[in-house]
Amino acid sequence: MFAPFILALRAAGVPASITEYLALLRAMKEGVAGFSVDDFYHLSRAALVKDERHLDRFDRVFGEVFKGLESPTGEAPRELPAEWLRKMAEKILTPEEMKQIEALGGFDKLMETLKQRLAEQKGRHQGGSKWIGTAGTSPFGAYGYNPEGVRIGQEESRHRRAVKVWDQRQFRDLDEDEALSSRNMKVALRRLRRFARTGAATELDLPGTIGATARNGGSLDLHMVPERHNAVKVLLLMDIGGSMDDHIRICQELFTAARSEFKHLEFWYFHNCPYERVWRTNRRRRETERPTMEMLRTYGPDWRLVIVGDATMSPYEIIQPGGSVEHWNEEAGQVWMDRLTRHFRKAAWLNPVEQSHWRYTQSIAMLQRLMENRMYPLTLAGLETMARELAR
């Protein structure tokens, strides 16, 4: 009955399965949703969507598939009755303030402006007609009655018209490609965990001890095991300065996340493209510089290399010896990239530039090729793909 709906959901990337579809049908049969469109929307959402990142997509698909299903009375009334507005204002303003309004041009005039603003807002975007954020520009704000302006809404949020609930798309923020915080970065990086017991035996191995004691005829035989550690080793190479200044915040968060997630984390800086030298502290660059060859010798191929950079530069900086913007490099950037990817078989490039803009920059395409297509956007989804790729 709702098969086209499920198919549309799957096409939009919401992973709804047969099991969930059948659960929805059963719930309908049990009469959970009754005969209300609103309830059906809530029920199908609870049954079919299992991740808040997909809620927005679900809303969109639901709006498309059930387009004709609007309530018979038509759309929610746009025109606010003056009486109701007055009541609303009375609820919000104290008597003294009301008196002041009367003094300053009268209540009706104020309401007139408000109505006008409401009409403007209706024209601007669909779904937003429920709210009017008059903010600082509204007459309310101007007179200074209410510091953040008056919000006009329907009396109870629960009685919104059904059609509008999904049209509001309140879950847009939760979609996968949002900017990320160090917390959800950590979660994404956790995919990279590889637990192993290495080092000194410091923990009591309880099952081992019990087994050994039992075999020993009851006299105690203690066994120890090493602690469990995340054994993944990550080498972080970060582009710094120049065009990267726009992305400092997100790189900082990535750095925080990576530092707390990996026990073996080494980081080095470079500028635009890795050449023969990398450095450890940007401020004291001269003192902390090391040859890249030394870095290659220090960290074995079992380290996972993650390069963070916007890869946005002149193509000469990659293909031409001496192309670097800040010094004379004997060998071209691509030679060094080649060395890096050949030494570190597990490597990835994280790019904070929005993926849809990648094709406009030639150097991004070149580095993408040098990285054998292992360049990922610095978004939650990109980070997860990278972690999955590196964990293989």
Partner 1 sequence: MREWPPGPTLAADFARGRNVAQFKGTETYVASRELEVAVNAAVALQRPLLVKGEPGTGKTVLAQEIATALGYPLIEWHIKSTTKAQQGLYEYDAVSRLRDGQLGDPRVHDIANYIVRGKLWDAFESEQPVVLLIDEIDKADIEFPNDLLLELDRMQFFVYETRKTVQARHRPVVIITSNNEKELPDAFLRRCFFHYIRFPDRETMEMIVRAHYPDIRRELLREALNVFFEIREVNELKKKPATSELLDWLKLLTIEDMPPEALRSSDSRTAIPPLYGALLKNEQDVHLLERLAFLARRRGG
The footprint of partner 1 (CB under 8 A) covers: 15, 17-20, 22-23, 26-27, 30, 32-33, 38-39, 42-43, 45-47, 49-52, 55, 92, 94, 146-148, 151, 153, 155-158, 170-171, 174, 184, 187, 190, 210, 213-214, 218
Closer by beta carbon to partner 1, 28 or else 335: 28
Match 């003094």 to its residue by tokens. Answer: 103
Closer by beta carbon to partner 1, 61 or else 366: 61
Closer by beta carbon to partner 1, 58 or else 303: 58
Closer by beta carbon to partner 1, 193 or else 339: 193
Find the shortest distance in angstroms from Cβ 289 to partner 1. 32
Burial of 86 (0-12, 13-18, 19+ CB in 10 A): middle
Closer by beta carbon to partner 1, 26 or else 87: 26
Find the shortest distance in angstroms from Cβ 366 to partner 1. 34
Closer by beta carbon to partner 1, 74 or else 218: 218
Helices (H), the chain: 3-11, 18-29, 37-48, 55-65, 82-92, 95-103, 107-124, 139-143, 162-167, 182-189, 206-215, 248-261, 285-288, 292-298, 316-319, 333-343, 362-370, 380-391
- Give the residue from 177, 129, 135, 174 showing the smallest Cα distance to 153: 129
Closer by beta carbon to partner 1, 214 or else 325: 214
Find the shortest distance in angstroms from Cβ 85 to partner 1. 16
Burial of 89 (0-12, 13-18, 19+ CB in 10 A): buried
Find the shortest distance in angstroms from Cβ 91 to partner 1. 9
Find the shortest distance in angstroms from Cβ 155 to partner 1. 8
Closer by beta carbon to partner 1, 9 or else 237: 9
Find the shortest distance in angstroms from Cβ 218 to partner 1. 6
- Between β-strands 195-204 and 224-230, what pairing exists: parallel, antiparallel or unpaired? antiparallel
> Is 201:226 a contact under the CB 8 Å cutoff?
yes
- Give the residue from 217, 384, 242, 229 showing the smallest Cα distance to 309: 242
**CA dihedral angle for residue 357, residue 360, residue 366, residue 370, rounded to 10 degrees:** 10
Q: How many residues does the chain have?
A: 392
Find the shortest distance in angstroms from Cβ 190 to partner 1. 7
Closer by beta carbon to partner 1, 33 or else 273: 33
Residue 169 tokens, joined: 């798309």
User: What is the Cα–Cα distance from 249 to 238, expressed in whole angstroms?
Assistant: 13
Find the shortest distance in angstroms from Cβ 132 to partner 1. 13
Find the shortest distance in angstroms from Cβ 60 to partner 1. 16
User: What is the Cα–Cα distance from 378 to 352, expressed in whole angstroms?
Assistant: 5
- Give the residue from 144, 157, 149 showing the smallest Cα distance to 132: 149
